[in-house]
Structure 1
Amino acid sequence: MSSEQDSRNDQHREQQQQQQQQHPHHHHQFHPNVIHDASADSAGIIASELAAEDGSLLSSTTLKSHSYGAAEEGSSQDYAIDEPNGGYALPKKQLITVVSSLFMASFLAALDATVVTTLLTIIASELKAVKNISWIATSYLLSSSAFQPIFGKLSDIFGRKFILIGCSLMFGIGCIICATDSLWWLVFGRFITGWGGSGLTAVGTITMSDLIPLRDRGLYQGLANICFGLGAASGGFFGGLIADSLGWKYVFILQVPLAAVVGFALYFNLNLPAGSPGLGAHGQDIRQKLKRVDFLGSFCLISALMMFLTATSLGGRDIAFTSKTFISLSAASFALILAFLYVEAYVSEEPIIPIELLGNRTVLASSLTNWFYTMGIFAIMFYVPVYYTSVLYLSASENGLRLVPNFGGISIGSVGAGYYMKRTGRYYRLTVGAGILAILGAYRVTLLDRHTPVWQQFVMMIPQGMAYSCILTVTLLALIAATPMKYQACTTSIQYTFRSTGSTLGVSAASAIFQTVLAPSLSRKIWDLVKDPEEARKIISKALEDTNYVHEAPKYVREAIRSSYDEGCRGAFYFAFGIIILGVISSLFMREHKLHTSINRD
């Protein structure tokens, strides 16, 4: 930075000190001229000029500054890490141990989300709870998605190590509770496990940003995505294997020692250097830290997400979209979101998610990119297997084999994106390339029909998996690079919020479209074939409830059911294609920011 620029910055600091002396009670007022611009090597004055010119940040009259993490009140929040190890925050051996533990935590959280997929009927039959079977899976997903957004700020206050160990403990306790003979205790245990698992995933991602320079961060995130994907893909397999050999309770019991290993490894090795934002607030006891927690904002956000996710998860399946329950849940979640936005903007001194960050163009664009991509990809991942089963008449094993190559695409996309960013320090062209690949892949899915060659069925999911895993890595780094270091935990929480709601909303919206297309098509075709009204209603009802019914239905109606499923799945595919295009358009508004080669971002 030039001496002239240094002089200008000194003048601005002096003016700021004079303003604080004149208005001691207004020290929370947010002034863009003291924002540290993480994307440049210069300090706040440049950021304030950009904000004034293009509106990439909201005006100073509408924003408030807040103390975050380790820095003291009134400081500039420019973190400086003591003696980084070649740009990293820990020595090599410690770094490998900590990162491996975080990978294991990510694997466990993903595995536990899908481990019950092959166990639901076994557990429900043993506990005599077939009617409430969906809550065994839903309880984990609800708590995991609803609590993820709050962990960023909590880890800024209490420190990453404290939160990660606490989440490991919660995960283990939840798994112990799951080994029960009561359905509702099992549901409660799954809820606790999801709470802990969401913290392990979110804070684990945040912690890697404390440890690893942004230039290398993408490569490590790519590996983390592989661990997460491997856990999600293998959950059903391991669940079935252990249940058959030891019993379903051991599926949960055997996860307890693994969670303990993660907790102990982090306790002894996650020793962040002085100056790291991951250390939490300095010089404050537990009461002072608790006073800083935004309980009101957290309550509004968690409650809103719980109601929204419950409505979208159960809507159209367990509760009708036109029912009072669905409408009430949707209205209440919308009202609570508005309350959350008001609390964060005007009430909370230290908001759980500073909404002013969404005024940053890159933060907003990358968040929407993540949201739309996740909606589209999850819709495809859910309905391509439905098409294979109900239209192509494939068995479960044949269906599963066709999804295996997708994991290869995810691995290549994750690690390839990280390697590209490590070598070039850039990501915008990569974003455009991933967008083109995603659009072409989603379009190919819309052309899926009964005459699609077998080899194409095996590679059908690879482009989307590759593009999506690439985008997950890119959007995370774009979010972190676009904001000052003090906000890296909050921006990571923002990404997880958009991702978790996007996955649920994507599947729910696709399901609604699927049912909307399927129901009238089935009714029209079945009524043309079946003259007995009672028999026709029975066939239609079973076909709407069970995708496998097409194999059991009377032979003379199977083709009608098959063609109706074809139309319904195609409706879901067109939805996914359109929503992915929105994601690609959103990604084009992200700016290219500097990926630093040191933890100190220099």
Structure 2
Amino acid sequence: MKKVAVIESINGIESDLESQVITPDNQVYGSTEELNLIDKNDGYAVPRRQLYYIAFCLDIAAFLAALDATVVSTLLTVIASDFGSLGSMSWLATSYLLSCSALQPIYGKLSDIFGRKILLIGCCIFFALGCGICTINSINVVIFGRFITGIGGSGLTCLSTITLSDLVPPRDRGVYQGYLNIFFGLGTATGGMFGGVISDYLGWKYAFGLQIPIAIFVGIAIYFNLNLPEGSPGLGVRGHIRHKLSKIDFLGSFLLVSSLLIILTVASLAGNTLKLTSKTFAFLCILALVLFSCFIHVEKNTSQPIIPIDLMRIRTVSASALTNWFYTMGVFTYLFYVPVYYNSVMSFSGTKIGTRLIPNFFVTSIGSVGAGYYMKRTGGYRRLVYFAAFLAISGMLNILTITPDISIPRQFLLIVPAGFSYSIILTTTLLALISAVPSKFQAGITSISYTFRATGSTLGVSMASAIFHQVLQSALNREIPSLVNDKALAKEVIEKALESTDYVNEAPEFIKTTLRECYDCACKGALSYALVCILLGVTSSLFMKENSLSKSINRQ
């Protein structure tokens, strides 16, 4: 009886949320008829030609954000060496990711208040400004510029997805999200190559400067073309700027962003710059926990929450968010440590490793768009979730059985099944979230999705890195002293092996095989962690309900 009562209570919460529509200015309507848009475009918000142009601009925006996230991967040593500041090298990468991950949660609510157009244009300005700052001759200024660019990049990623939901009905939403994912993936895949080529021929500053006109073009195109119809949630709250500012939960925003910045910074530095046993690590963890607890308390007692936490009580919302979180942890772990395996155990060059990752890009592109077309044709996604679960588990087991003598075809196809699964999950979880709540909640829900994904990637790789180094150190301490009688030399070998995987190519011949076995063991430890994350993601996905996907933007 208690179990039945709990189920009825949960269903009641979902029913209440779906029977009411809450506008950005906090008015509640018992019926959605007052908010229905005039349907002049077969269920779409704008004419098809205008939609295609806007969608293309949003795709370019997502491409830019992804490109800039990885463009420094080939520029880190070049920029740091140019300024003679190798110690600051890591901050060139993390400064962008920190601001990008920490600010994504608040863009949904801000766009509900001020409107999608003005927020997107503002993000283009921040992005272009940040890229411009990165061309100034100072390492600290470049790091600051990367942080400013991340403010714009996070909005371009999140708001592009939110805006598409204002334009396209849920039944067709997956198709457009699939194309957006392709552009995002293309930006991620080509960022390093773009940075390297531009740096070699023009100088590293042009890698940032050449992005400025593209960001300006996107901003101008959005200004003239993103004209949402009357009644669209993407128009924001009407009224004076003071009225709009009064709708912002400044305290909640501060607490959320501060806690996320601390959590992500600790995750990025833990085990390397920041020792896990240090008092600083303990203090920062406690501070982040206190700030996040205060955020939860504030959000529960405010009429204008920056993130609709109450929506997490809906089973499909919480299940989708956790599915995204755990899958992303696992996927980013194997995307990082399969190349480490190729490099440290199999001694592959960067070019060889890169070519073996190319099939994954094409397969994930097919998976994203294919999932969208499947949902458009069938109106459902549950079978896709089951199919993705099977592919994810079998794909991770396939990755875990990697050996130094695997065949060349298998090297190219090693991560393809798991990558195909992840591309399906990204699209289906987003549609599950959007379809689980009224359209007025879509911005907040999308922010929740991107927050879980962003923190999942950072925390996943950080935890995997800690596991990798711990297993590697244990293996080296166990094996190397038995091969090297000189204790000082053995200690030196262990330290060099821990500092760089390239040492395996420089080490004395008689210990190379042992070093590769130690790296093999460490990579398998990280990949085992990835399997656990995937299993947790699959388990979470089984709790998602299948909601109907409307053929029109007019929906509850």
> TM-score range, shorter-chain basis?
over 0.9
Which residue identity is paired with 1:328? F
What is the total number of aligned residue pairs between the two structures? Answer: 549
1:287 to 239, 242, 247: 242
SS in 2 for 1:292: coil
SS in 1 for 2:58: helix
1:134 to 65, 90, 106: 90
Indicate yes or no: 2:143 matched with 1:187. yes
Of 222-231 and 88-97, more deviation after overlay is shown by 88-97
CA contact (8 A) 1:542 1:549 kept: yes
Matches within 5 A, 1:135-214: 135-214=91-170
Matches within 5 A, 1:195-274: 195-274=151-230
| Distance in 1 of aligned mates of 2:246 and 2:50 | 33
Indicate yes or no: 2:309 matched with 1:355. yes
SS in 1 for 2:504: helix
Indicate yes or no: 2:388 matched with 1:434. yes
SS in 2 for 1:229: helix
CA deviations over 1:391-438 (Å, ceiling 9, x no partner): 011111111111111101111110110010000000001101001000
Find the counterpart in structure 1 of residue 375 from structure 2. 421
Find the counterpart in structure 1 of residue 286 from structure 2. 331
The verdict on how the C-alpha distance between 1:59 and 1:573 changes in structure 2, with shifts beyond 3 A counting, is closer
| Distance in 2 of aligned mates of 1:453 and 1:269 | 51
Which residue identity is paired with 1:307? I
| Distance in 1 of aligned mates of 2:90 and 2:528 | 27
2:514 to 556, 560, 563: 560
1:116 to 55, 69, 72: 72
SS in 2 for 1:550: helix
CA contact (8 A) 2:21 2:29 kept: no
Report the TM-score when normalising by structure 1.
0.89
| Distance in 1 of aligned mates of 2:53 and 2:548 | 28
The verdict on how the C-alpha distance between 1:60 and 1:235 changes in structure 2, with shifts beyond 3 A counting, is closer
Deviation at 1:451, TM superposition (A): 2.1
| Distance in 2 of aligned mates of 1:546 and 1:297 | 42
RMSD of aligned C-alpha atoms?
A: 1.8
Matches within 5 A, 1:487-502: 487-502=441-456
Indicate yes or no: 2:357 matched with 1:403. yes
Which residue identity is paired with 2:281? F
CA deviations over 1:32-90 (Å, ceiling 9, x no partner): xxxxxxxxxxxxxxxxx99971414659999xx99542x66343473311234111111
SS in 2 for 1:187: helix
Deviation at 1:332, TM superposition (A): 1.2
1:309 to 258, 264, 272: 264
CA deviations over 1:489-524 (Å, ceiling 9, x no partner): 000000001000100111011111111111011112
| Distance in 2 of aligned mates of 1:466 and 1:60 | 34
Percent identity of paired positions between Structure 1 and Structure 2 = 54
CA deviations over 1:237-283 (Å, ceiling 9, x no partner): 0000001111000000000000000000000000000000000002x
CA contact (8 A) 1:215 1:596 kept: yes
| Distance in 2 of aligned mates of 1:77 and 1:145 | 36
CA contact (8 A) 1:151 1:203 kept: yes
Find the counterpart in structure 2 of residue 125 from structure 1. 81
Report the TM-score when normalising by structure 2.
0.96
CA contact (8 A) 1:172 1:259 kept: yes
CA contact (8 A) 1:219 1:422 kept: yes
CA deviations over 1:341-395 (Å, ceiling 9, x no partner): 100012x211011111000000000001000100000111000000000001111
Find the counterpart in structure 2 of residue 296 from structure 1. 251
CA contact (8 A) 2:438 2:555 kept: no
CA contact (8 A) 2:363 2:416 kept: yes
CA contact (8 A) 1:390 1:548 kept: yes
SS in 2 for 1:514: helix
Find the counterpart in structure 1 of residue 498 from structure 2. 544
Q: Which runs of 5+ in 2 are unaligned?
A: none
| Distance in 2 of aligned mates of 1:51 and 1:199 | 38
CA contact (8 A) 2:65 2:153 kept: yes
| Distance in 2 of aligned mates of 1:107 and 1:231 | 5
Of 98-107 and 521-530, more deviation after overlay is shown by 521-530
Indicate yes or no: 2:398 matched with 1:444. yes
Indicate yes or no: 2:548 matched with 1:588. no
Matches within 5 A, 1:454-465: 454-465=408-419
The verdict on how the C-alpha distance between 1:267 and 1:578 changes in structure 2, with shifts beyond 3 A counting, is same
CA contact (8 A) 2:108 2:444 kept: yes
SS in 1 for 2:517: helix
CA contact (8 A) 1:513 1:572 kept: yes
| Distance in 1 of aligned mates of 2:12 and 2:115 | 28
| Distance in 2 of aligned mates of 1:482 and 1:371 | 18
Pick the structure with greater CA Rg.
1
